[in-house]
Chains A and B, each alone.
Chain A
């Protein structure tokens, strides 16, 4: 079945460091890909998305590029801030009536 694999956490970085969180997927078709973020005590929020190969999603300094050849959607940010500390989830959706399938999440902690 369809699945998403994320890099194991937790990830701890210093402020202003470069961030990469790896995400790869397995799907029978051509899914839409998403990154959601969960701040402490809150529900998930959509961070960015991409709907087809080579699309780049971006928001709040975060970027991810839909790579069909490597079935990947890695999340990157050039300079992280303490306020970026959260759990990040990679997800895919195959078609209109399909559920959103999530990875297990990666906890990110940024230290000043």
Chain B
């Protein structure tokens, strides 16, 4: 079974641009979550999608948005990039088949975004 796939692996953008990151979950997984990882803040939750609906949202500005398609693939978009958006963006999927609170998350290797 293929793991969680994130593309691209690396991105370099300049301030003011926008960027779209992609995540393909493990086959059969319906829940996709996005996290921002920085050395100073650690892992910060962005949002979670389940069956094409946003189920949870973290405390990020509206410049950060996402969506999920019918095949469970997800995209994350950041508009008007700022220097502080430089981070590793991680996507995680889970089956959520039982809705259990001990559901295991499977993470991708992330997209390293650098904003210059």
Nearest-CB residue, chain A, relative to B50? A97
Chain A, residue nearest B99 (CB): A96
Hey, which chain B residues are within 8 Å of A35, CB to CB? none
- Quick one: CB contact mask for B31-47 with A, threshold 8 Å, 1 for yes? 00101000001110100
Instruction: Decide: B56 and A99 in contact? CB cutoff 8 A.
Output: yes
**Chain B contacts for A32, CB-based, 8 A:** 101-102
State the majority secondary structure of interface residues on A: loop
Contact A43 B42 (CB under 8 A): no
B108 interface hit (Cβ, 8 Å): yes
* Residues of A in contact with B, size category: 20 to 34
Interface flags for B63-106 (1: CB within 8 Å of A; 0: not) read: 00000000000000000000000000010100000011111110
Chain A hits for B21, CB < 8 A: none
| 17 chain-A/chain-B pairs, Cβ below 8 angstroms | A31-B101, A36-B105, A36-B107, A42-B109, A43-B92, A46-B105, A89-B42, A93-B101, A93-B103, A99-B33, A99-B45, A99-B56, A99-B58, A100-B33, A101-B45, A104-B41, A105-B43
| 4 additional contacts (CB under 8 A) given A94-B101, A98-B56, A100-B33 | A43-B108, A89-B43, A100-B45, A104-B41
